[in-house]
Chains A and B, each alone.
Chain A
């Protein structure tokens, strides 16, 4: 038997379920996107699920917060550049829209185009240059933006992650890594950096890295950078390219694979057509000795929030006590050769001072090359 009001009951109970869903997920707000924006200790203050969703979250937040300045870049910019450092400067409000995980110049260009349509207050773009990643990658589409935004609000994951957020806050309550409101990634319990530096050879010479022994100039990637420049000019945006700090250990790796030529070509060509600031020249902060407790480095590639604070304050022209004299340097085509020579000299000094790390690196490389030569 079918009750006469069954279909009506279906619709009404669906509406009731939907209301419950919205009340619950908007209150707990696992991704920090709720229109209600409640922050309740032991309930939802910590957001363990607001992590690893940068591609989904950041376009929505750029649209929502309408920042004046955005950062584009990879996980380095994402981990280390806290936009609140720029509060009170001409760049404020700023948002860290860096996308970890191999963001390419082409991707940055596509994101920039999307952000321009989403954010009418956008005036300045700071683009991080990270040379190993100047290759292709997926580019965002409007369908992605809509689908991703819908998924943040209406998906089974949102429901599950609300439960996880509630449980984590109620049971554990310990600070946990998450994407902060301004878009940068904060990790309160980072592992010992020395261990991560020691793992570097095993990582770089593994199947996780595509062609770790190759360094060739990628015209398509450079075209991506040129595209960013064109977009910025066409939209009257201030554009700043930033070469983030590079520790002598990865610089040693670039040295081994013969990457300086490519780096030099990139910097020469780019600094001829755009504003490029470098933070990678050797100094006390960049060359910080590897130890279990480092101030300026989280691991081989990722510099710390302290380093990022110095970078942003330098860019904004805010005096910072203790900053190395050569911390920020405007690159021009004429200065590129000396910039690279100083880094190479620092690499040689570092290699002499760290023979065990060099031996470890060379052993991992030798094994990788032997495996590559073995027919599969």
Chain B
């Protein structure tokens, strides 16, 4: 069940919210929390019920490890041993479901053993759930866990707003909220939560999904072995960059909004990452809870920056390679992670130079340029993230390179400018806009994305302006304390001072557009036959 589905929005969420509101009146906090756990299990089982057993098994085993570590009266060494076994258990589960096929395929291709590559269905959210449980065990070993019961633990792991795609929370962030959440003003929490959820839904469904058509068409064209001209390749790559941004931003907003409806605050996970002026800054704003996990549970245990510069860069490289692999079992993700590790190392090396601290690099212009360079680097790295194979990524990089007088190179940008920005006759009747809605990539001409998909140029400019110039959700709703870990200035200076009828008109309009966008009239493209 996705947040952006009719069944979630019109059935599941209202039912769960109504049940929660009723049970919340009970004096015992066990009832509403049990209700949320039950709802979360239903939510998880919706896709493939058999994986619910896996989730329950994993929760039970981890609870047992946690009990041993917290209440077992173990020595430090014994606790560390249980921790190691617990981490190994979680990594084995993840390894089997996510990486067994990848591992077998690679060993087979190297050694030529003719092994059958197993086809294993990946349980939804397993990557996030695994990290969350590992973080819990480490925190337990460090003595940071309080209020530990089976119900609380099950709630911490399964709470549906963060179950399948994060944010990766700490036990210590959620547990202290259980009691107070029952005493909060539910109507106020629903008002704030619904508003943030709608903003997220709009980002995901209206912006990200609209861009996905063009990104998918470009990458599928390359996958099918057909060429793209340089301008079209940039349209595809930029579309994907913004699609991913609004997809993840939208999801994070929806998770935060949903949790808030039940009186909980989740940690901030996404904070205008494309406004970053460096790669270091980018990873402090993009998937913040994953960066935090990798820093606290991998980078620092590896030695962090405590063993000299070379070791620090090596640690960074290892962390980012594994971070890349965590995103998917494919060499494209590994190299994407490695590339980010390399960029982080270069960024740290640059910061260590005295030159980087000169006034020339502190100007507004320098900052703007740094944002542009960072965005370009991140966007180019997404090519690896999005491509299905390294060969596809390489082909896309070749098409992106415009330094040729060939019509596929620089001249293609003239075509793009003419089609998208100067020849505006098409704008009069609107009939040529967003045609076709669903592209059939295998037969696209090389310049199709740059010239025929109008007004793609205007759309990208608009999305770019929204991304770089507009405040983010937390800067808008800051005064309502939407998430944990927000900067003080964000909390104190939120743009919205009050939620009133004017906000209601805007939010409800966004909601209607988003819900309408869930349904498509998909024209069938036919070519004579």
Contact = CB atoms under 8 A, between A and B. Distances in A.
Contact of A21 (B498, B516, B521, B525): B516
Contact of A172 (B192, B429, B442, B525): B429
Interface stretch (A82-90, A150-158, A256-264): A150-158
B521 A152 contact: yes
A13 B529 contact: no
Nearest to B517: A156
B434 interface: yes
A17 B508 contact: yes
B522 interface: yes
Contacts of A171: 428-429
Interface residues on A, range: 35 or more
Interface string B490-529: 0000000111110111011101110011111111111111
B499 A1 contact: yes
A6 B504 contact: yes
Nearest to A170: B429
Contact of B430 (A151, A156, A164): A164
B345 to A, nearest CB: 40
Interface string A301-318: 110000000000000000
A273 interface: no
B498 A133 contact: no
Size class of B's contact patch? 35 or more
A301 B519 CA distance: 34
A171 B430 CA distance: 10
A339 interface: no
Contacts of B430: 163-164, 167-168
A10 B528 contact: no
A7 interface: yes
B190 to A, nearest CB: 7
Contact of B500 (A3, A164, A176, A301): A3
A301 B351 CA distance: 68
Interface in A63-97: 74-75
Contacts of A133: 529
A96 to B, nearest CB: 16
Interface stretch (A50-58, A109-117, A235-243, A344-352): A50-58
B392 to A, nearest CB: 16
A59 interface: no
B54 interface: no
Contacts of A150: 519
Contact of B429 (A1, A7, A167): A167
A369 interface: no
Interface string A100-116: 11100000000000000
A2 B524 CA distance: 47
A208 B526 contact: no
A48 B501 CA distance: 38
A179 to B, nearest CB: 11
Interface string B383-427: 000000000000000000000000000000000000000000000
A31 interface: yes
Given A75-B526, A101-B529, A155 B516 contact: yes
Given A10-B508, A150-B519, A156 B206 contact: yes
Given A3-B501, A6-B499, A56 B516 contact: no
B511 A14 contact: yes
A224 to B, nearest CB: 17
Contact of A53 (B433, B501, B523, B529): B523
A128 interface: no
B194 interface: yes
A195 B519 CA distance: 39
A282 to B, nearest CB: 23
Contacts of B509: 13, 17
Contact of B508 (A14, A52, A164, A299): A14
Contact of A10 (B194, B434, B442, B513): B194
B498 A155 contact: no
A2 B526 contact: no
A168 B442 contact: no
Q: Which of B497, B500, B503, B508 has the most CB of A within 10 A?
A: B508
B429 to A, nearest CB: 5
Select the residue from A51, A157, A203, A302 with max chain B CB neighbours within 10 A.
A157
A2 B443 contact: no
Nearest to A200: B528
A189 interface: no
A151 B519 contact: yes
Contact of A5 (B443, B501, B525): B501
27 contacts: A2-B191, A3-B500, A5-B501, A6-B501, A7-B187, A13-B509, A14-B511, A14-B512, A16-B508, A17-B508, A21-B512, A52-B526, A53-B521, A56-B522, A151-B520, A156-B206, A156-B519, A157-B437, A160-B434, A164-B430, A164-B431, A168-B431, A172-B428, A203-B527, A207-B442, A208-B443, A302-B528
Given A9-B500, A54-B524, A101-B526, 20 more contacts: A2-B480, A5-B501, A6-B501, A7-B190, A7-B191, A10-B504, A13-B504, A13-B508, A75-B528, A75-B529, A102-B529, A148-B521, A151-B521, A151-B522, A156-B516, A157-B520, A157-B521, A172-B429, A172-B431, A208-B529
Interface of B: 187-188, 190-192, 194, 206, 428-431, 433-434, 436-437, 442-443, 480, 497-501, 503-505, 507-509, 511-513, 516-529
